[in-house]
Structure 1
Amino acid sequence: MSSGATKVEMRGITKRFPGLVANDGINLTLKEGEILALLGENGAGKSTLMNILFGLYQPDEGEILIGGKPTAIQGPKTAIRLGLGMVHQHFKLVQPFTVTENIILGLEPKQRLSIHYRKAEQQVAELSDRYGLRVDPKAKIQDISVGMQQRVEILKTLYRGADILIFDEPTAVLTPQEIQELIEIMRKLVAEGKSIILITHKLKEIMAIADRVTVIRRGKVIDSLNVSETNPDELAAKMVGRQVSFKRDKKPASPGQPVLIVDKIVAHAASGARVLDEVSLAVRSGEILGIAGVDGNGQ
């Protein structure tokens, strides 16, 4: 765990929406060079709190300190100027553009009156190599994997000078191998002096990568703990407010006859890309059929 200087402090943050208190007097601290997990169920108020930190929402009460200084973050431009970067769960990339064009959008290096693409590609390549992101600066977004698109979002924040990175449910769209690669990227980022807030509800990932964890339930902070001094059972109980059993006694299934048959279904997106490629399945009476896949795989 980092014992560095305090990078971010949120004091008494309250945010109300009609009929809902999303954040209720929340205190949160991020230290230099640490990974802080923000843990809570869906709807607990995690993303709202980070949207306030990134300037997308304004708090109704409370204050934010960056580097010990009280700061009014009036919008994302202010946040970026203060060294904050946010990797959103749903990427904000222009599909027909190249990796470099997406990264430099709004900050294009100029050569006389034209954009200096060669210089930009070189800068992107250098950043990619430094942090082990392995992204091709010339590739088009529509031609690369979801995991690689996430790396482009990370590069966008680094290109803009971020040293505090907010990751919003970053593993929701990744395969197990990509999750492991993302964990390695996060380790490299903090080794280079970056600080990370990780929004998640996945206990396994918190235990694998985070230094500290702040648990939010129904808009309130329940506890903040060192990850080395807790365990998944304790975190789950704090997250949902009761003891949670991870063991399930299931009887062997005895399904009946098929009640739904899907045979070689093909579907195309508006772009013409094939999103379902001769998919077949059967659902039988008395069973629950799971359809698994990371975002963007057609499920």
Structure 2
Amino acid sequence: MTFEVDIYLSRLGLSTLSKTEEDLHILQTRQMQAIAFENVLPLLGTVPDLDPGAVWNKLVLDGRGGYCMEQNTLLGAALENAGFNHRPLLARVRMGSAKGGPRCHLAFVVRLKGTDWLVDAGFGGPGPRVPLKIELGTEHQVLRETFRFTEDMAAGEIVLERKTPEGWFQLYGFDDMLPAQTDIEMSNFYCARSPQSPFPSNLMMARTTGSGRVSLFNRTLRQENSFGVKTEELADAAALHRALSGCFLLSYGAETAEAIWNRLPVEASEAA
């Protein structure tokens, strides 16, 4: 990837980037605000290209978003450019289950002044919007959301959990295995094409804002801010197109919105 820092920072609405804890937080937060999590390509039958140049063109130059493999490929390049000590990880998504699935979520561990941080711009709706210090049992308050890390000794994993009204909800687990690029490519193919993956059969989008987040699961648009939560069912492809550009800041045209609409499940959807 020819990483042009000025162009990347302009995409995020930033002017500078340095190797500090504050800038690490700003980096993840602003990428999640500027570049939406979305799975349009897998939904339309295409495996996203993880070539660094392809990721750069799609997410930075073309004004589109991506799912974890793409989002965190771009974030990794930014971490590299800023000089952060970082390593990739492939986590096992749990989403409430006591056990994880395949290693199919890409994120990073950043070591800064002797402390490890989980840095992840690509988990979508339920994920943290800022880096989290990896300390077992510590509760991290992020706006109206609370996260913690626990240890699953049987699986040999650190598990990221989110607090819900029903209790702690397991998001994903990870260990110290350092994945090769071929591992990441295989995980990308599984996410985009496997019948067991949600991405080929459901539209999933999320973008954080200064006071909350907006998400879309198939036809259900959910907007959350400090005043509460508003949900609505999109009526047609035109409404979807307006949401793509207005809520998610994406440059997809009306024809793409129509193609996406035609791929959505007919049954009523539920909020992301």
TM-score normalised over the length of structure 2: 0.31
Q: Between Structure 1 and Structure 2, whose CA radius of gyration is higher?
A: 1
**TM-score normalised over the length of structure 1:** 0.29
